[in-house]
Chain A
Amino acid sequence: MKLIGEKGVQRALMFTAFSAISALLLIALFILSEGLPFIFRYGIKDFLFSNDWVPQQGRFGIFPMIAASLWVTFGAMVVGAPLGVAVALFLSEYAPRPVMRVIKPTIELLAAIPSVVYGFIGVMVLAPLIREFLGGPGLSLLGGSIILGIMILPTVISISIDSILTVPQSYREGSLALGATTWQTIYMVTIKASKSGIIASIILGLGRAVGETMAVIMVAGNSVNIPHSPLDSVRTLTANIALEMSYATGMHRQALFATGVVLLVGIIILNSIASVALRKRMVKK
């Protein structure tokens, strides 16, 4: 190290510090350069808002996939957000600290389970239940929403807990001293004070749901159509890419990269909203 000297070390470290951001730029560059020319050639309006996806005939409208992605993500939020926030409130406000310290990492194991396993559980357990009790093919928007709702739980729970724990103890004490019950304190004081963090946790969860691929491919059924009921089979943007990528060539492949562009833009918007919400929390703190 003497040979390089302190300045040299600093310069080398600074160089590596750009690895993440240059990877990000490379990813953006390659996805955009494959996808954007296609979008402009095909026409933004036709690509985004037409319902025909018939690659063999050169028709590439991804509106059904956009609708499916939005619905599945919305469904995941309906399933996962209330459940996740409830768990976070219970662990941070009611459970004794030692209990929380055991339960929180245990629940976070949900994040470690590979998405193909979630998909498999969806196919083997959830889809037959839906088919039997609600009808339809089973592999459906509803199935996808439930599985994704479970998959976003660890994100929602751990970020919500972190943000609830930053609420100063004096707020709670003030409320309790006025005679409020713990629950009144939670929904009148704690939730209000940690609102932006909780919202950020849900949005980050949604980002995960929009981008999830393997579980959705296995559970949601993959037919290209705009869903009319939660029991319809749907194909999301991610599933569209993964299903056809292995054999697509030429225009078709570019159309899949263009689908990736749409997905990437959606994710970046979601994550930016989340990071603004999280920063707001920091400032308040």
Chain B
Amino acid sequence: MRIHPRHIQKVAVVMLGGAALFTLLILIFIIGFILEKGLPVISLRFLTGKPEDLGRSGGIFPTIIGTILLPLLAIIIATPLGIFTSVYLSEYTKETKLTKVIRFGTDCLAGIPSIIFGLFGYIFFVVTLGLGWSILSGGLTLAVMILPTIIRTSEEAIRSVPKSYREVSFSLGATSWQTVKRVILPNALPGIVTGVMLSIGRSIGETAAVIFTAGSSLRLPESILDSTRTMAVHFYILAREGISQENAYGTAATLIIAVLFINLSAYWMMSRFIAKRS
């Protein structure tokens, strides 16, 4: 018996639509599950208190500080490097062998798994450069990890600046650098910021690359050379070593809220940026 194509069509729509719905449900389930179990744990005391008894009780304040400091250091290092790289690639050269090599290197770097960054950060920053398990080692490692994202998103943002803007600037006698500084970067800024925000989101949730470079000290860091523990690492240790399920849920919920907030702001900026363009 031959099934009529229109029936197959109906089955196909239902299956493909079902797949999309299922994927959305997975996302909602993961976020909902963590928030449902974790939100009741979160309180002002939880967020601002010191962890006691390895995190079995008390709060997570030092890990929040660690979670702010590491990504902050990473973007301070990676953002200028990434923006200048993308300015060079899009404004200062034509497509040559050299730019192809740079682009290929950036793509390769983007594909490297975080555990390899962890190994590299450990052997290079922690051991060879003698920085020890520290905020500095962790921040540098994260900077290398997010560099490709920043390069790519900045390059896209810069390329989306209309050609006519450049022509007007050049016709007024501006040099290339003046054009970049006064015309291109200000116009590409929202796109660049979106890339930076996505990178912050990624580095906040990162565990494998951080645990071997920044260590897991629960004390409040006093200098950039002190070891620290991020929320992601804290959550991992609490959950894996079975220290406290309750505090693990609380930490996970705080982490998820932070990551969602940053990513949603990034999308919001991006959509405003696109709306303004068109």
Residues of B within 8 A of A142 (CB): none
Any A CB within 8 A of the CB of B172: no
Contact B16 A89 (CB under 8 A): yes
Residues of B within 8 A of A77 (CB): none
Residue from B81, B114, B267 in contact with A213 in the complex, judged by beta carbons closer than 8 Å:
B114
Q: Check A83/B23 contact, CB under 8 A, given A20-B147, A20-B148, A113-B30.
A: yes
Residues of B within 8 A of A95 (CB): 20
Any A CB within 8 A of the CB of B17: yes
A37-51 with Cβ < 8 A to chain B: none
Contact A245 B212 (CB under 8 A): yes
In the complex, what's the smallest C-beta–C-beta distance from B48 to chain A, in angstroms?
A: 22
Contact B85 A16 (CB under 8 A): yes
Distance of A259 Cα from B260 Cα, bound (Å): 34
Any A CB within 8 A of the CB of B136: no
B195-236 with Cβ < 8 A to chain A: 201-202, 204-208, 211-212, 232, 235-236
Contact A110 B26 (CB under 8 A): yes
Contact A20 B120 (CB under 8 A): no
Stretch at the interface among A54-62, A101-109, A225-233: A101-109
B: number of interface residues (CB 8 Å): 80
Any A CB within 8 A of the CB of B88: yes
In the complex, what's the smallest C-beta–C-beta distance from A121 to chain B, in angstroms?
A: 6
In the complex, what's the smallest C-beta–C-beta distance from A212 to chain B, in angstroms?
A: 7
Residues of B within 8 A of A256 (CB): 119
Contact B106 A125 (CB under 8 A): no
Contact B20 A211 (CB under 8 A): no
Distance of A105 Cα from B31 Cα, bound (Å): 15
Contact A16 B81 (CB under 8 A): yes
Any A CB within 8 A of the CB of B105: yes
Q: Check A83/B22 contact, CB under 8 A, given A1-B177, A24-B105, A115-B205.
A: yes
Stretch at the interface among A25-33, A129-137, A166-174: A25-33
Any A CB within 8 A of the CB of B122: yes
In the complex, what's the smallest C-beta–C-beta distance from A228 to chain B, in angstroms?
A: 26
Stretch at the interface among B7-15, B58-66, B162-170, B184-192: B7-15
Contact B106 A21 (CB under 8 A): yes
Contact A114 B105 (CB under 8 A): no
Contact B118 A114 (CB under 8 A): no
Any A CB within 8 A of the CB of B72: no
Contact A94 B205 (CB under 8 A): no
In the complex, what's the smallest C-beta–C-beta distance from B19 to chain A, in angstroms?
A: 4
Residues of B within 8 A of A94 (CB): 13, 16-17
Contact A109 B263 (CB under 8 A): yes
Contact A271 B118 (CB under 8 A): no
Residues of B within 8 A of A271 (CB): 107-108, 111
Any B CB within 8 A of the CB of A68: no
B71-87 with Cβ < 8 A to chain A: 80-81, 84-85, 87
Q: Check A31/B85 contact, CB under 8 A, given A24-B105, A117-B256, A150-B26.
A: no
Distance of A12 Cα from B211 Cα, bound (Å): 34
Residues of A within 8 A of B6 (CB): 181
Q: Which 3 A-B pairs have the closest CB atoms?
A: A211-B113, A114-B205, A21-B105
Q: Give B contacts to A, CB under 8 Å.
A: 5-6, 8-9, 12-13, 15-17, 19-20, 22-24, 26-27, 30-31, 33-34, 80-81, 84-85, 87-89, 92, 101-102, 104-109, 111-120, 122-124, 128, 144, 147-148, 151, 175-177, 181, 201-202, 204-208, 211-212, 232, 235-236, 239-240, 248, 252, 255-256, 259-260, 263, 267
What are 16 A-B residue pairs whose CB atoms fall within 8 Å in the complex? A12-B84, A21-B109, A90-B19, A91-B20, A94-B16, A103-B20, A106-B27, A119-B236, A120-B239, A181-B5, A181-B8, A184-B5, A213-B114, A256-B119, A263-B113, A267-B111
Give 11 new A-B contacts, CB below 8 A, not counting A27-B112, A117-B255, A153-B26. Answer: A1-B177, A12-B84, A23-B147, A27-B117, A87-B23, A114-B206, A116-B239, A121-B34, A204-B111, A257-B123, A263-B116
